[in-house]
Amino acid sequence: MIWNPEYESMPRRELEALQLERLRRLLARLAERVPFYRERFAAQKITPEKIRDLAQLQELPFTTKDDLRENYPFGLFAAPMDEVVRIHASSGTTGKMTVVGYTKNDVAIWAEVMARTLSCAGATAKDVIQVAYGYGLFTGGLGVHYGAERIGATVVPISGGNTKRQLTVMRDFGTTILACTPSYALYMAETAREEGMDLRGLRLKAGVFGAEPWSEEMRREIQEKLGLLAIDIYGLSEIIGPGVASECECQNGLHVNEDHFLVEVIDPVTGQRLPYGEKGELVFTTLTKEAFPLLRYRTRDIGILYPEPCPCGRTLIRMSRILGRTDDMLIIRGVNVFPSQIEAVLLAIGGVEPHYQIIVDRERNLDELEIWVEVSEGIFSDEVKRLEELERKIRVEIESTLGIHARVKLVEPKTIARREGKAKRVIDRREVYAVRPGP
| Residue ranges that bind other proteins, judged by CB under 8 A | 375-377, 380-384, 387-388, 409-415
Nearer to other proteins, 82 or 382 (CB): 382
DSSP state of 264: E
d(CA 162, CA 339): 28
Of the two residues 284 and 356, which places its CB atom closer to other proteins in the complex? 356
Which CB, 22 or 409, lies closer to other proteins?
409
User: Cα(400)–Cα(368) distance, rounded to whole angstroms?
Assistant: 16
Nearer to other proteins, 382 or 420 (CB): 382
144 Cβ contact partners less than 8 Å away, ≥ 6 residues apart: 114, 118, 129, 131, 133, 179, 208, 242
Least Å distance, CB 391 to other proteins, is: 8
C-alpha span between 344 and 340 (Å, rounded): 6
Grouping H, G, I as helix, E, B as strand and the rest as coil, residue 187 is: helix
Size (the chain), residues: 439
Name, in order, each residue with C-beta under 8 angstroms of 125's C-beta and a sequence gap of 6 or more. 151, 152, 153
CA distance 46 to 52: 13
Closest CA to 357 of 417, 269, 316: 417
How far apart, in whole angstroms, are the C-alpha atoms of residue 399 and residue 391?
12
| Minimum separation from the CB atom of position 414 to other proteins (A) | 5
> Which CB, 32 or 353, lies closer to other proteins?
353
Whether the bond into 157 is cis, omega within 30 of 0: no
Q: How far is the CB of 377 from other proteins (least distance, A)?
A: 6
Q: Would you say 338 or 372 has its CB closer to other proteins? A: 372
182, 230 in Cβ contact below 8 A?
A: yes
Q: How many Å apart are CA 336 and CA 407, to the nearest integer?
A: 17
Q: Minimal distance in Å, beta carbon 383 to other proteins?
A: 6
Closest separation between CB of residue 409 and other proteins, Å?
5
| Residue whose CB is less far from other proteins, 40 or 355 | 355
Please state the φ and ψ torsions of residue 194, each to the nearest 5 degrees. -60, -30
Question: For residues 51 and 373, which CB has a smaller minimum distance to other proteins in the complex?
Answer: 373
Q: How far is the CB of 403 from other proteins (least distance, A)?
A: 24
C-alpha to C-alpha distances, 295 to 41, 78, 303, 306, nearest whole angstrom: 11, 12, 19, 22
Q: Least Å distance between CB 411 and other proteins? A: 6
Q: How far is the CB of 385 from other proteins (least distance, A)?
A: 8
Beta pairing, strands 318-319 & 254-256: antiparallel
